[in-house]
């Protein structure tokens, strides 16, 4: 169906940070399937692990034990400090699991109509509950009636969350992206999560982080919350987790880890042997190849080099982000840059109308990063010179 305004191009194979079309022309991939292909394309360790697993066992059922799933849960809990995991197939599903968990928790506390605090400009997915949680009219329009039970405040404003406590007695959780992705790569003040943690602790609310985009090394840490001193009660993952094999996860600790009981939630495919092998191998390669450090280093280089190259160019509002989650905000709409970059064999994204978004693979090398900044700075320079704000 016509759910995407697609570019005409198709890619037939990939290698590292490069994608190739049918004519053999290669494109520098600075989008990575929207923060999915952290290991780049056709990573040998991933290919081998997937081939071996596919030859052994692809799917059984969550009605039986799945050793690969148990190992993945163990690994994710060790890396994050959380205690239990539920596996599904996408970011929206991971957030559905978190939303249902918060509601069930509320009911278990005797709250009949539990509400969840969500943010303006947030993005949580396209299912009915997650689009209702999303802070974008564009995503919601035409799908009313929306799912109720969400209260919305501006992103980055902890005081606004605190004030809600005085107006509502049915709040059970706060759902927030540590860094907003689709909303424009929005970076809050450094103490935002700590403030939210304190409010949640004071009120007995669950702090639920949507790390579907920011998790799995994207920001230079395993999880974006690890740039702060807080531990969430619930965290959702997907995009980068399986390197392109669909898998999502909802992790929890403490009381939040005890909420679900058999029959309350489920997934046919979620956490099957193939998907869990993809995720386990992804985590293994990130660790072995020190890709967290690489993401931090390449991200810092890209932001600094772009800032230097774009000095004096009019209408550069901001260059921001963390690790390899980078936004360049312009003073005018810049959706056309995607096609112009494609013509120069560079894959980028524009979100929130006027923010160029870069989400390159975590394996990005120095030469490739330098090529990216050189090409992109020239494209932005031309764009800002030739269009009106
Ligand atoms: C992409 C995204 C989602 C939705 O993930 P899907 O796999 O497309 O359902 C949810 N939250 C955030 C922060 C995202 O970036």
Last residue of a domain, one of 288, 322, 348: 288
386 pLDDT higher than 90? no
64 pLDDT higher than 80? yes
Specify if 38 maps to a domain: no
Reading the block at residue 51, the tokens are 């081939």
Q: What is the Cα–Cα distance from 382 to 365, expressed in whole angstroms? A: 26
Do 240 and 301 share a domain, yes or no?
no
Global pTM value: 0.98
Reading the block at residue 81, the tokens are 């400090």
Do 270 and 308 share a domain, yes or no?
no
- CATH number of the domain within which 334 lies: 3.90.1150.10
pLDDT, position 43 = 98
Q: Give me the half-sphere count of Cα atoms (radius 13 Å) on the Cβ side of residue 17.
A: 22
Specify if 350 maps to a domain: yes
Do 250 and 301 share a domain, yes or no?
no
The distance between the two most distant Cα atoms of the chain, rounded to a whole number of Å, is: 62
pLDDT tens-place string over residues 290-332: 999 999 999 999 999 999 999 999 999 999 999 999 999 999 9
Mutate to test the pocket of ligand 1, among 182, 183, 237 (most ligand atoms within 8 A of CB): 182
Specify if 305 maps to a domain: yes
Q: Which long-range contacts (CB under 8 A, 24 or more apart) does 300-305 make?
A: 301/366, 301/369, 301/370, 301/373, 302/326, 302/358, 302/369, 302/372, 302/373, 305/369, 305/370, 305/373, 305/377
Cα 312 to middle of ligand 1, angstroms: 35
Q: What positions carry a catalytic annotation?
A: 123, 210, 239
pLDDT tens-place string over residues 245-282: 999 999 999 999 999 999 999 999 999 999 999 999 99
Which atom of ligand 1 approaches the CA of 130 most closely?
10
Do 282 and 312 share a domain, yes or no?
no
pLDDT, position 388 = 76
pLDDT, position 126 = 98
Last residue of a domain, one of 288, 303, 331: 288
Residues whose beta carbon lies within 6 Å of some atom of ligand 1: 90-92, 95, 123-125, 177, 181-182, 210, 212-213, 238-239
Cα 314 to middle of ligand 1, angstroms: 33
H helices of the chain, where?
Answer: 32-35, 44-56, 67-80, 91-108, 128-133, 137-140, 158-167, 192-203, 273-288, 291-309, 337-343, 366-386
pLDDT tens-place string over residues 110-147: 999 999 999 999 999 999 999 999 999 999 999 999 99
Nearest CA to ligand 1 atom 5: 91
Range of the domain at 221: 45-288
């Amino acid at each position: 169906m016509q759910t995407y305004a697609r570019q005409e191009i198709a890619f037939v194979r990939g290698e590292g940070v490069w994608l190739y079309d049918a004519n053999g022309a290669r494109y520098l991939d600075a989008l990575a399937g929207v923060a999915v292909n952290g290991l780049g394309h056709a990573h040998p360790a991933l290919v081998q692990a997937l081939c071996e697993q596919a030859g052994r066992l692809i799917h059984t059922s969550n009605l039986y034990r799945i050793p690969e799933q148990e190992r993945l849960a163990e690994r994710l809990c060790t890396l994050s400090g959380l205690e239990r995991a539920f596996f599904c197939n996408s970011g929206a599903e991971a957030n559905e699991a978190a939303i249902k968990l918060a509601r069930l928790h509320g009911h278990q506390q005797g709250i009949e109509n539990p509400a969840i605090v969500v943010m303006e400009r947030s993005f949580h997915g396209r299912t009915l509950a997650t689009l209702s949680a999303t802070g974008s009219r564009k995503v919601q329009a035409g799908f009313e009636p929306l799912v109720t039970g969400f209260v919305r405040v501006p992103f980055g404003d902890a005081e606004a969350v605190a004030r809600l406590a005085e107006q509502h007695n049915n709040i059970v959780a706060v759902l927030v992206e540590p860094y907003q992705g689709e909303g424009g790569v929005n970076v809050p003040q450094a103490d935002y999560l700590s403030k939210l943690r304190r409010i949640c602790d004071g009120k007995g609310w669950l702090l639920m982080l949507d790390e579907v985009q920011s998790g799995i090394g994207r920001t230079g840490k395993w999880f974006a919350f690890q740039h702060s001193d807080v531990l969430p009660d619930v965290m959702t993952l997907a995009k980068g987790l399986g390197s392109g094999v669909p898998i999502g996860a909802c992790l929890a600790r403490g009381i939040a880890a005890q909420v679900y009981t058999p029959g309350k939630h489920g997934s046919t495919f979620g956490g099957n042997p193939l998907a869990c092998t993809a995720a386990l191998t992804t985590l293994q390669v990130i660790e072995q190849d020190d890709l967290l450090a690489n993401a931090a280093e390449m991200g810092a280089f890209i932001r600094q080099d772009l800032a230097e190259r774009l000095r004096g160019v009019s209408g550069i509002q901001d260059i921001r982000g963390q690790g390899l989650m980078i936004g360049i905000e312009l003073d005018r709409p810049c959706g056309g840059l995607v096609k112009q970059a494609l013509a120069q064999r560079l894959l980028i994204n524009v979100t929130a109308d006027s923010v160029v978004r870069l989400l390159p693979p975590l394996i990005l090398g120095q030469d490739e990063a330098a090529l990216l900044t050189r090409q992109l700075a020239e494209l932005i320079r031309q764009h800002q010179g030739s269009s009106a704000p």
